[in-house]
Structure 1
Amino acid sequence: MTSCLWLVCTLVAIIGSVYALLAAFLVARFAHRPKSILERPENVALIKPLYGAEPGLHANLGSFLQQNYPGEVKILFGVQNAADPAIAVVRNLEEQFPAADIELVASSRSAGGNPKISNVLNIFPRAPHDVLILSDSDMRVDDTYVRDVVATLQQPEVGLVTCLYRGCAIGGFWSRLAAAAVDQHFLPSVLVGIRFGLAKPCFGSTIAMRRSTLAEIGGFEAFANTLADDYAMGDAVRRTGQKVAIAPFTVGHTFSEDSFAALLAHELRWARTIRLVDPIGYAGSVITHPLPFALAALPLSGFNVIAWMIVLGTLACRLLVPLQVERLPGGGKSSIWLTPLRDLLSFAVFVASYVPGAVSWRGRRYSVGADGTVKPI
C-alpha cells in the first residue's frame, strides 16, 4: 500500500512539474503578444459597481480616470446604499479630476440574488454610449487601458473583451500571499487551459461589449441570480457565435487581506465558484499542485535520495512560473519567496473547496445552488 501511494504521489509531482514548465513557457509567450491597433475612437461608458471604501479604492478608481484615449469616456459609479462610504471616495475623485465625466448612481433596488448585478442594473440606464466596459472595483489599470480594450473589441468577430490580471498586494504579508495565488496559480492555469481549449474564460476584471451584444444575450437581467456572472456572460456571448477575446495585456487586481481568515474566505469563494463552473476541469487541476505531492512522497519513500531530488526538481520548476509572471504589468512586489507556502495553502484550499458550505462576499453570506445560482443567507 505504501509503495502504491509513493508511486501515485511521485507521478503527480512529476506530471505537475512538467505542467509548471509548460505554464512558464506560455506566460513568457503571452508577455510578447502585440497589442491591437485602434481603428477608430469610439465613445465609451465605464461601469463601476461599488460596495464600501475598500483599501486602495481611491487609487484603483483614479487609474480609470487617467486614460489616454481620443474618444469620450463617461465613468458611472454605483452604490446600493446612500450611506455607503464609497460615495466619499467618488466625491473626492470628482474634485481631483474636474474635467472627467463622472456620475454617481445610488439606488437600493434589488433585481436578484447577485448584489453586483443588481448594482449594475441600476447604473446601466445612465450609460450613454455604445461601448460598455464593466470592471470590478479592485482593478487597477494603466493609461492605455481603454484604448487597448476598444482596439481589441474592434477585431473581426469579437463580441466581448476580457483581461487577465496579476496580483497587486497593497497590504502586508496576508495580502502578498493572496496576490501570489493569482500570479503563481490562477494566471498560468488560465493560459494553459486556453492553449489546449480547456478553458473559456471571462473575468470581472474587464467585460467590454457593445449594446447590441448585451441585448442579444438578454441584458444584465439574465445574470441577476448567477454567482459566476462574468463567466456566464462570456458563455452567453460565445453561444451567439461571437468570440470572447483575451486582451494582450494584464491589469492589476489589488489585494488587501489583513488576516488568514479574510484570505481563506476569499479564496474558498473563488475556488467553489470555479468548481461549480467547470467541475471536471477543476478536478483535473490537482496536477497544478505538485509540491505537496512531492513532499508527501518523502516519508513514503523513507526519505531516499530520489525522493529528495524530486522535491528539489519540483520546487525549481514551480519557481520558474513566478519568474516569468513578473515580466507582466499590473503586479506588485516580488513574491517568489512565498512559492512553497503558497503552493501548500493553494492545495489546502483545493481540498477544502469540496466541503459543502456557503460563500462569503463583501461581508455577506450566500448559499449556492447546484446550477450556480445564489441566494442570501
Structure 2
Amino acid sequence: MGYITAILGSLALALAAIGIGWMLAATLVLRRFFAHPAPVSAATTGVTILKPLHGAEPRFLDTLASFLAQSHTGPVQLLCGVQRADDPAIRAIDALRRRHPQATIDLIIDSTRHGSSGKISNLANLKPHIRHPVVMLSDSDIAVGRDYIAQVLAALDQPDVGIVTCAYHGRGDAGFWSRLGAAGIDWQFLLGLIFGVANRLATPCMGSTIAMRRDTLERIGGFARFADVLADDYAIGAAVRGLGLSVVVPPLLVTHAFDERSARALWRHELRWGVTVRDLGLAPYLGLIVTFPLPIALLAALWWPGAGMTLASFALAVRLFAAISVERVAGARAAPLWVLPIRDTFGFAVYCASFFVRSVDWRGATLRIGPNGHIAAAPETLP
C-alpha cells in the first residue's frame, strides 16, 4: 500500500509540474492572441441576430440592447423567440422596443417542438422569419461591444470561412456565486480555449456567437437536425466544416453573463458544461487535468509535503499571473483575486464529478445523455 501511495504522490507532483508549465505557456499565448484588435468591416450587409429566449436574467435588457448599439451601418434584425406566451422575456422585449423605436425587433412565440433541445426548437421556429443574408446566433446571456457586428463580418468575409465564433469572458450579475462562475470562464476556460485555437488543437463552435451566411445554414439542413444533440453548437460547426468551410475564432471577446445565485445552481451549470466537453472526446478531456495545477499540487502535498507545497506556491503565482493577464485582455475583473484557490478547487471537483454523470440539468429540465452525445428529455420549454 505504501508503494502505491508513493506512486500516486509522485504522479500528482508530475501533473502539477506539467500544469504549471502549461499554465504559463497558455497565458503567454493568450496575451499574444489578443495583442491586436480584430479588423472592422465597412460592409453594409444585412444581418439577422437570432436570440432564443427563456426567462430574463438580472441585466437582460442591457444585454440585448448591446446588439443594437452597433457601429455597423447596414440593416440589423433582432429576431427573438420564446415558446410560451407568458415567458418573462416578452416584457423585456417590449421594453427594448420602447428604448429603440427605430430598431427592427421581431418576437416569435411558437411552442412547436423539434426534439429534446428547447433551444434548438426555438431556433428552428425562428428560421422562417430570417430577413437578411448573414445570420448571427447568440445565446441570451451574451453581451457585446459596439464594433461586434463589423468585426464578425470582417472575419466572415475571409476566403473559405463558413462560421465565425467568438471567445468570451465572464461577468457575474447575481452575487458571489455568479462571480465565481465568471471567474471560471476567465481564469480557466478562456486560457485553454485560446491555447487550443492558437495551436490548432481545438475546433470550437460556441453559442456565444455562431455567424454564418444564410445559404450556409440552408446547406447544413437548418437547425432542427441538431435538436437531440447535447453539444449542439459544436455539431453545427462540425456540419459546416463538413462542407469544406472553416470555423474561425477572431481576436474578439464577448461577455457571458452569469446569474447563478447559489453553489448548487453553479455546480449544475458547470457540470453540464463539463459533461458536454467530455462527450466531445474523452482523451482530450482527460488531458484537461493539467489545467488544475494548484489543487493537484495540494493533493501531492499529502504524500510529499515539502515538494507539494513548493509546487503549490509556484502554481498559485502562475495562476495569479494568468488571472491578471485575462483581466487586462478583457478590461474587467471577473472576481476578487483572493477567491482563486476556491475557484480552482471548485472547478477541479466539477471536473472529477463529470466522469460519473449520465444526465444533466438544463434550466430545470433533466437531459439524459445517450450514445454519441445524443440527449433525451421529457417535454420542456427551454430556449
CA contact (8 A) 1:163 1:247 kept: yes
Distance 1:270 1:296 in 2: 24
User: C-alpha displacement at 1:40, in angstroms?
Assistant: 2.2
Say whether 1:50 aligns with 2:53: yes
In the other structure, the counterpart of 1:26 is 29
Say whether 1:127 aligns with 2:130: yes
Alpha-carbon distance change, 238 to 142 in structure 1, aligned in 2, over 3 angstroms: same
Distance 1:46 1:308 in 2: 50
SS in 2 for 1:299: coil
Deviates more, 1:74-83 or 1:352-361: 352-361
User: C-alpha displacement at 1:252, in angstroms?
Assistant: 0.3
Distance 1:26 1:43 in 2: 34
User: C-alpha displacement at 1:172, in angstroms?
Assistant: 1.1
In the other structure, the counterpart of 1:355 is 356
In structure 1, runs of 5+ residues without a counterpart are: none
Distance 1:102 1:341 in 2: 42
Task: Please give the per-residue CA displacement for 1:295-351, whole angstroms capped at 9, x wherever unaligned.
Answer: 1121212x33x3322111111112111111112237454432221111111110011
In the other structure, the counterpart of 1:296 is 299
CA contact (8 A) 1:251 1:330 kept: no
User: C-alpha displacement at 1:39, in angstroms?
Assistant: 5.1
In the other structure, the counterpart of 1:191 is 194
Say whether 1:158 aligns with 2:180: no
CA contact (8 A) 1:131 1:208 kept: yes
Tell me the TM-score normalized by structure 2.
0.95
SS in 2 for 1:227: coil
Task: Please give the per-residue CA displacement for 1:41-100, whole angstroms capped at 9, x wherever unaligned.
Answer: 200001101001222211111111211111000111100001101000000100111011
In the other structure, the counterpart of 2:174 is 171
* Paired residues for 1:57-206 under 5 Å: 57-206=60-209
User: C-alpha displacement at 1:263, in angstroms?
Assistant: 0.4
User: C-alpha displacement at 1:37, in angstroms?
Assistant: 3.8
Distance 2:322 2:142 in 1: 22
Distance 2:65 2:42 in 1: 26
In the other structure, the counterpart of 1:374 is 375
SS in 2 for 1:105: strand
Q: Structure 2: which amino acid aligns with 1:168?
A: R
User: C-alpha displacement at 1:265, in angstroms?
Assistant: 0.5
Deviates more, 1:353-362 or 1:191-200: 191-200
SS in 1 for 2:301: helix
User: C-alpha displacement at 1:221, in angstroms?
Assistant: 1.9
Corresponding pairs, count: 375
In the other structure, the counterpart of 1:239 is 242
* Paired residues for 1:204-219 under 5 Å: 204-219=207-222
Distance 2:337 2:28 in 1: 17
Distance 2:37 2:159 in 1: 16
Alpha-carbon distance change, 332 to 21 in structure 1, aligned in 2, over 3 angstroms: closer
Aligned-pair identity in percent equals 42
In the other structure, the counterpart of 1:341 is 342
Distance 2:364 2:345 in 1: 26
SS in 2 for 1:248: coil
Alpha-carbon distance change, 43 to 161 in structure 1, aligned in 2, over 3 angstroms: same
Alpha-carbon distance change, 282 to 4 in structure 1, aligned in 2, over 3 angstroms: same
Task: Please give the per-residue CA displacement for 1:344-363, whole angstroms capped at 9, x wherever unaligned.
Answer: 11110011001133111112
Distance 2:265 2:221 in 1: 35
In the other structure, the counterpart of 2:319 is 318
In the other structure, the counterpart of 1:16 is 19
User: C-alpha displacement at 1:278, in angstroms?
Assistant: 2.0
Q: Structure 2: which amino acid aligns with 1:318?
A: R
Distance 1:120 1:192 in 2: 31
Q: Structure 2: which amino acid aligns with 1:97?
A: H
Q: Structure 1: which amino acid aligns with 2:138?
A: S
Distance 1:143 1:135 in 2: 15
SS in 1 for 2:269: helix
Alpha-carbon distance change, 96 to 37 in structure 1, aligned in 2, over 3 angstroms: closer
SS in 2 for 1:64: coil
Distance 2:263 2:229 in 1: 27
In the other structure, the counterpart of 2:277 is 274
Distance 1:156 1:149 in 2: 14
CA contact (8 A) 1:113 1:376 kept: yes
Distance 2:362 2:183 in 1: 20
Alpha-carbon distance change, 98 to 332 in structure 1, aligned in 2, over 3 angstroms: farther
